[in-house]
Amino acid sequence: MPAQNIQNMTLCALKQGMSEKEFTSLEVIETLLTRISEHGGSLNAFITVTAEQAITEAKNADKLMAVGKNKPLLGLPLAHKDLFCTDGILTSCASKMLHNFIPPYDASVVKNLKASGAIMLGKTNMDEFAMGSSNETSYYGSVKNPWNLELSPGGSSGGSASAVAACLVPAATGTDTGGSIRQPAALTGITGIKPTYGRVSRFGMIAFASSLDQGGVFARSVEDAALLLGEMAGFDENDSTSVDVPVPDYLGSINQSIKGLKIGLVRQYFDAGLDDNNAKAVREALEVLEDQGAEIIEIDLPNIELSVPTYYVVASAECSSNLSRYDGVRFGYRAENYKDLNEFYCKTRGEGFGAEVKRRIMTGTYVLSAGYYDAYYLKAQKVRQLISQDFKNAFSKVDLIAGPTTPSPAFALGAKMDDPIEMYLNDIYTIGANLAGLPGMSIPCGFVNDLPVGLQLVGKHFGEESLLQCGHRYQQKTDWHTRVPERFK
CATH, residue 116: 3.90.1300.10
Q: Yes or no: say if 213 and 206 are a contact pair by the CB < 8 Å rule.
A: no
Q: Identify any residues that bridge with 124 across adjacent strands, giving them in sequence order.
A: 46, 81
CA distance 47 to 423: 24
Is pLDDT at 3 greater than 80 in this prediction? no
Q: How many domains does the chain have?
A: 1
Q: Is the pTM of this model over 0.85?
A: yes
| Active site (annotated) includes residue 477 | no
DSSP 378: I
342 assigned to some structural domain: no
- Render pLDDT for 236-272 as a digit per residue (tens, 0 to 9): 999 999 999 999 999 999 999 999 999 999 999 998 7
394 assigned to some structural domain: no
Region of 10 (left: φ > 0; alpha: ψ -120 to 50; beta: rest) is beta
DSSP 348-377: HHHHHS-HHHHHHHHHHHHHTSTTTIIIII
- Domain span holding position 450: 3-264+399-488
272 assigned to some structural domain: no
- Average pLDDT for 211-226: 98
Catalytic site residue from 156, 157, 221, 316: 156
- The per-residue pLDDT of the chain, averaged, comes to 96
Q: Yes or no: say if 212 and 130 are a contact pair by the CB < 8 Å rule.
A: no
Give the pLDDT of residue 105. 98
Torsion of CA 292, 298, 302, 304, to 10 degrees: 30
Q: Identify any residues that bridge with 193 across adjacent strands, giving them in sequence order.
A: 217, 441
Q: Yes or no: say if 252 and 231 are a contact pair by the CB < 8 Å rule.
A: no
123 assigned to some structural domain: yes
CA distance 379 to 369: 14
358 assigned to some structural domain: no
481 assigned to some structural domain: yes
| Active site (annotated) includes residue 71 | no
Give the pLDDT of residue 4. 52
Catalytic site residue from 180, 201, 221, 466: 180
| Active site (annotated) includes residue 397 | no
323 assigned to some structural domain: no
DSSP 354: -
290 assigned to some structural domain: no
Closest CA to 198 of 249, 173, 250, 235: 235
CA distance 82 to 397: 39
Catalytic site residue from 15, 25, 81, 138: 81
Is pLDDT at 148 greater than 60 in this prediction? yes
